[in-house]
Amino acid sequence: MKISKLLILITLLFSGQLLADEHWGYEGTISPEHWGDISKDFRTCKTGKHQSPINITKAKKLAPQPLIFHYELTPEEVINNGHTVQVSVNSDDDYLTFNGTHYLLKQFHFHTPSENQIEGNSFPLEVHFVHTDKEGKLLILAVMLKEGKANQEIEKAWRVVSKQQDKTIKIKSPFNIDKFLPSNKSYYHFEGSLTTPPCTEGVTWLVLKESVTVSKEQVDKFDNLLGHTNN
């Protein structure tokens, strides 16, 4: 640990912030390099061995198991929680089958710019579809968005989401996740962690190789809502 970081840590300890405040963010003293020190529940952010996101390079060419998607059209809610825009999915019908296990879709949310990189390439937006199996094991399906035509599915959430934080809003038109996904579903697979506190490990990551499009205006709208990057 660098002296300057140590000093910040000591200052935080004496001011009581470190123990009292579990607030995390992307800038200043609560930025990612400090997450492991904000709370003992977040220690894995610093000490973990399989932390995400990663830059995917020289991926092994294995014969991958096909992913089987069972996504229905369901009405959902959207929230701007200050860290991201998140759409919650309250249905038992939306799941994805990977290696014979069903993973139920719980929510999806966005990062700008992308957290994972493919061969060193970053994307303006990345969406994480967060799933859990019966035992609560997490699987995150990541889809990259490149600049191009406006994304009709994102627009459904963007149209209603509020700049006001922690306000839950119903999305009127149901999300069609199948339309959100690229036609080619080949993917990279690795075992990693949550990319935000508490940075829990043992998360199965699937990153689709092919991206879908999002317009510059849609990325700008997301930037404006958050007021900061969140990768």
Residue 195 CB, shortest distance to Zn ion, in Å, is 5
Comparison of 34 and 128: residue with beta carbon closer to Zn ion: 128
36-43 long-range contacts (CB < 8 A, ≥24 apart) are 36/199, 37/9, 37/12, 38/197, 39/197, 39/198, 41/197, 41/198, 42/197, 42/198, 42/199
Comparison of 18 and 203: residue with beta carbon closer to Zn ion: 203
Residue 24 CB, shortest distance to Zn ion, in Å, is 13
Our answer to whether residue 131 is catalytic in this structure is no
Give how far Cα 76 sits from Cα of 49, 83, 147, 171, 174, Å.
35, 19, 26, 6, 7
Give the other-Cβ count within 10 Å of 22's Cβ. 14
Residue 100 CB, shortest distance to Zn ion, in Å, is 25
Residues that bind Zn ion (CB under 5 A): 128
Comparison of 128 and 156: residue with beta carbon closer to Zn ion: 128
Q: Which residue among 23, 34, 50, 83 is the active-site one?
A: 83
Q: Please answer whether residues 76 and 169 qualify as being in contact, where contact means their C-beta atoms are separated by less than 8 angstroms.
A: no
Q: Name the residue with the smallest CB distance to Zn ion.
A: 128
Residue 127 CB, shortest distance to Zn ion, in Å, is 8
Residue type, 150: A
**Residues annotated as catalytic (active site), given as ranges:** 83
